């Protein structure tokens, strides 16, 4: 998984940054090329994840012993909604090449990640008896990104600061969503049984357009500090195309039809369960959303 992507990129960026500083410490300030660590926050919409999948319950039919000892089958719907993702950390590395006094090519790579978790408790059928359960649910979403585009000066004060606009085309690769559902069933006093469901979904090649604005202040001849705001816009629908599911529920647990919050459809895309626990619905991925970054550049 990609839990440490952001920190790994930051460390790599700082090492590269130090090496470039040493190798060019005695060179003249040309400002034709630059390398820039990026760090900030991003909040893509991911509407069908935040407001679809995260509201989906754990559901299914379960057997329950009656007072006469007979067994009946019932529809069980157990809710544990998650909060929508908060803005997640975004970190990467950008390179630029100045074409003329106002225009530069830009390109680079970055990573983003966010998570959400929830816990609830209740009484559900388990092993044919009503049983108290604690339900813990966690979701982690992440992706890697590569981008290429242009940056153009709007206003510039030589050797002091500049205001600029930028536009890039971004491709998201290695898009991952991991759902971890853990159930603790209380059978008797002090006796607990745990069951888990882990779903990992992946896809790649989401295409975005990203316009933005920024302000940059030069620090000496070699460095600059910039603040950028931008907005990402998905250019086509994307779906999770691959998923693995691991679970350790057993036949003796008494469940018939088994409905997890997400599943893979007949056409190979991931779907989420509606709030009633009956039907599955399509889950397109949308990455429209704002981004706020700090960029530290070294010129050479």
Q: Report the first-to-last Cα separation within the chain, whole angstroms.
A: 36
The model's pLDDT over 219-277, given as tens digits with 9 standing for 90+, comes to: 988 899 999 999 999 998 899 988 888 999 888 888 887 788 998 888 889 999 998 88
The model's pLDDT over 132-151, given as tens digits with 9 standing for 90+, comes to: 999 999 999 999 999 999 99
Mean of the per-residue pLDDT values of the chain: 86
pLDDT at residue number 251 = 84
Give pTM, 2 decimals: 0.81
What domains can you pick out in the chain, each with its CATH number? 5-299 (2.40.160.20)
């Amino acid at each position: 998984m990609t839990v440490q992507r952001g920190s790994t990129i930051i460390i790599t960026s700082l090492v590269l940054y130090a090496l470039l500083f040493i190798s060019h410490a005695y060179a003249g300030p040309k400002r034709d090329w630059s390398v820039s660590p990026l760090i900030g926050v991003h909040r893509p919409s991911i509407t069908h994840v935040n407001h679809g999948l995260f509201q989906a319950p754990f559901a299914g039919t379960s057997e329950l012993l009656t007072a006469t000892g007979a067994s009946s089958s019932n529809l069980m719907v157990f809710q544990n909604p998650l909060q929508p993702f908060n803005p997640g950390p975004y970190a990467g590395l950008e390179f630029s090449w100045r074409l003329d006094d106002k225009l530069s090519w830009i390109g680079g790579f970055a990573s983003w990640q966010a998570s959400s978790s929830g816990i609830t408790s209740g009484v559900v059928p388990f092993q044919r008896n009503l049983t108290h359960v604690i339900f813990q649910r966690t979701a982690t979403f992440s992706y890697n990104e590569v981008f290429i585009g242009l940056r153009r000066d709007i206003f510039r004060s030589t050797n002091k600061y500049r205001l600029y606009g930028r536009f890039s085309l971004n491709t998201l690769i290695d898009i991952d969503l991991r759902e971890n559902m853990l159930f603790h069933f209380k059978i008797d006093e002090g006796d607990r049984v745990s069951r888990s469901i882990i779903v990992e979904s992946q896809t790649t090649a989401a295409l975005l357009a990203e316009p933005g604005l920024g302000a940059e202040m030069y620090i000496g001849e070699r460095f600059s500090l910039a603040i950028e705001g931008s907005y990402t816009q998905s250019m086509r629908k994307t779906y999770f195309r691959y998923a693995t599911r691991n679970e350790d529920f057993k036949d003796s647990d008494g469940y018939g039809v088994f409905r997890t919050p997400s599943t893979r459809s007949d056409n190979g895309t991931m779907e989420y369960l509606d709030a009633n626990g009956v039907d599955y619905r399509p889950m397109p991925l949308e990455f429209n959303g704002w981004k706020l970054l700090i960029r530290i550049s070294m010129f050479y």
